[in-house]
C-alpha cells in the first residue's frame, strides 16, 4: 500500500535511532560513565571521548570506557560494572540531554502526513521509554524497541525486523534514520533504505558510513523525502 499525499509518495513508516539522532545524550552518558569510573578511582573521560563509545549498547560502552582508562575488565568484572552502570545511568537520563536540531518538528511533521514512526535503540528499553516520554515523542510513535535479551542488538537486523513485524509493514515501504555505522549496517542487513544525519555520533561528516543518503540535520528530512521521485509503483523504494 502506498502513502501518496499531494503527489508525494511518503513511506508507510520511518524508524529512528535515538542517541545522536533524536537526542544528544552524550553529556548525560559521560556523566554516568565518569561516576562509574570514579568508583575505581579512575580519571574522568571527556564528553567527546565518551561520544565515540556510544552506539553498541551499555556493555560495549562500559568495556570501551574502562579500556580507555587503562583498566581492561574480565568478563565477570564487566558484568558487575554493567550492572552498576545501569543503576548510575538511571539517575542521568535527562539531566543534560537535549533534542537534536529538528527532532520534534520532524516527528510531528511525519505524523501529520500519516507516516507511522518507531524508535529502535540499543539503549535499555525502559530508559528509552522514559526519555521518549520526557521529550514528548511517545504520543507520535507506533512502536518502541530498546535493548532486548531475546534480540541481537544493532548492527544485527533483529530489532528492526521485530518492529516491522509489529507494524505489519514491508521493508520496502520504510526508511530508517540514524547517525552511525551501527545504524546503517543494521538497516542494510534488514534491506531497509537508510538516511544518515550529520552531527551525531557516527562519523557521517567523515564519509565513513554506508548510507543511501545523508542529511545535514533532521530539519532537512521532510524536504528530502518530498524531492524523491514517485515511481507510482506500490512497492517502490525511496532510495
- DSSP string of 149-176? TTSPPTTSSHHHHHHHHHHT--GGGEEE
For residue 51, count CB atoms less than 10 angstroms from its CB and return exposed for 0-12, middle for 13-18, buried for 19 or more.
Answer: buried
Distance CA 65, CA 45 (A): 8
Question: The cell 556523566 sits on which residue?
Answer: 31
Strands (E), the chain: 3-5, 8-10, 13-16, 23-24, 98-99, 116-124, 143-147, 174-178, 194-197, 213-215
Which residues belong to the active site?
Answer: 17
Amino acid at each position: 500500500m502506498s502513502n501518496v499525499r499531494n503527489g508525494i509518495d511518503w513511506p508507510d513508516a520511518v524508524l529512528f535511532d535515538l542517541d545522536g539522532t533524536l537526542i544528544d545524550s552524550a553529556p548525560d552518558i559521560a556523566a554516568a560513565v565518569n561516576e562509574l569510573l570514579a568508583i575505581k578511582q579512575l580519571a574522568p573521560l571527556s564528553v567527546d571521548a565518551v561520544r565515540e563509545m556510544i552506539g553498541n549498547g551499555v556493555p560495549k560502552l562500559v568495556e570501551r570506557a574502562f579500556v580507555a582508562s587503562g583498566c581492561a575488565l574480565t568478563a565477570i568484572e564487566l558484568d558487575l560494572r554493567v550492572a552498576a552502570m545501569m543503576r548510575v545511568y538511571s539517575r542521568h537520563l535527562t539531566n543534560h540531554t537535549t533534542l537534536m536540531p529538528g527532532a520534534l518538528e520532524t516527528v510531528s511533521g511525519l505524523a501529520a502526513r500519516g507516516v507511522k514512526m518507531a524508535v529502535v535503540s540499543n539503549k535499555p528499553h525502559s530508559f528509552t521509554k522514559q526519555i521518549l516520554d520526557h521529550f514528548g515523542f511517545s504520543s507520535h510513535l507506533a512502536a518502541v524497541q530498546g535493548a532486548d535479551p531475546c534480540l541481537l542488538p544493532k548492527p544485527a537486523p533483529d530489532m528492526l525486523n521485530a518492529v516491522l513485524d509489529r507494524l505489519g509493514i514491508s521493508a520496502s515501504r520504510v526508511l530508517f534514520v540514524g547517525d552511525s555505522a551501527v545504524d546503517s549496517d543494521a538497516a542494510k542487513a534488514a534491506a531497509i533504505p537508510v538516511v544518515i544525519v550529520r552531527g551525531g555520533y557516527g562519523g557521517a561528516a567523515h564519509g565513513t558510513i554506508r548510507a543511501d543518503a545523508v542529511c545535514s540535520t533532521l530539519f532537512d528530512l521532510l524536504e528530502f523525502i518530498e524531492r524523491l521521485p514517485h515511481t507510482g509503483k506500490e512497492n517502490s523504494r525511496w532510495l
